Amino acid sequence: MEYEWLRNLQSFERVAVTPRPDQRHSAVVLCVVVDGHDEDCLVITRRASKLRNHAGQYALPGGRIDDGETAVAAALREMHEEVGLESSEADVVGVLDDYVTRSGFVITPVVVAGPPSVTLVANPDEVAEIYLVPIRDLDHPDAPRLLTIEESDQPVIQMPMRGGWIHAPTAAVLYQFNEVVVHGRTTRVAHFEQPTWAWK
């Protein structure tokens, strides 16, 4: 499917990070689809409550990159495993900056143009619910919301999500997506902090 503003990513020069031996490399997907109201949306999940890490939180589909696997291949695989949405590398529009988390991950965000119609099926082992979140919601007048914490000299970033707010790393990725892909503004987000409970 053609989304005119996705072309903004084609000229973007992303910042890549090579994971250290003590870091794990993972990929997430920002998949753009059209909902039943003909509105551009992102596929967002709520993680299953029984997961060991970050249970019950909003997240982008994604997961660990296997040995010998590219970030793009991992992102597409994880999206299919988690929400049943199958896309190919031809649907990949581009890749945003890697984001390094306090918990030891290097996250590569992959932007995908989804099919014109989608049937999403949650994998109950990983996903409690699936949402199609309108991209226009990212332009909330108070977004991004930046919080000060004693433990860091960098602000914790929050972005709107279904009437509430979410933190980095997902918030940082969503903010860069909105700035770079939607509005065509080169914006970096590596400096944005995560809340202390996400450092583990």
pLDDT per position as a tens digit, 33-89:
998 888 999 999 987 756 455 556 899 999 999 999 999 999 999 999 999 999 999
3-state helix, strand, coil in the chain (%, to 5): 20, 30, 45
Which among 133, 144, 142 is positioned nearest to 175, based on CA atoms?
A: 144
| CA 74 remoteness from chain centre | 14
Place of tokens 């860069």: 176
Q: Give me the pLDDT at residue 124, please.
A: 84
Q: Give me the pLDDT at residue 47, please.
A: 78
Q: Give me the pLDDT at residue 50, please.
A: 64
- What is the rounded CA–CA span in Å between residue 161 and residue 171? 9
- What is the rounded CA–CA span in Å between residue 179 and residue 72? 21
Name the pTM for this structure. Answer: 0.94
As a CATH number, domain 4-198 is: 3.90.79.10
The answer to whether 47 touches 127, Cβ cutoff 8 Å, is yes
Q: Give me the pLDDT at residue 2, please.
A: 56
Number of residues that this document lists for the chain: 200
Contacts of 180 (CB under 8 A, 6+ apart): 8, 9, 12, 96, 186, 187
Q: Give me the pLDDT at residue 81, please.
A: 95
C-alpha dihedral, 164 to 196 to 127 to 35, nearest 10°: 30
pLDDT < 50 regions, the chain: 1, 51
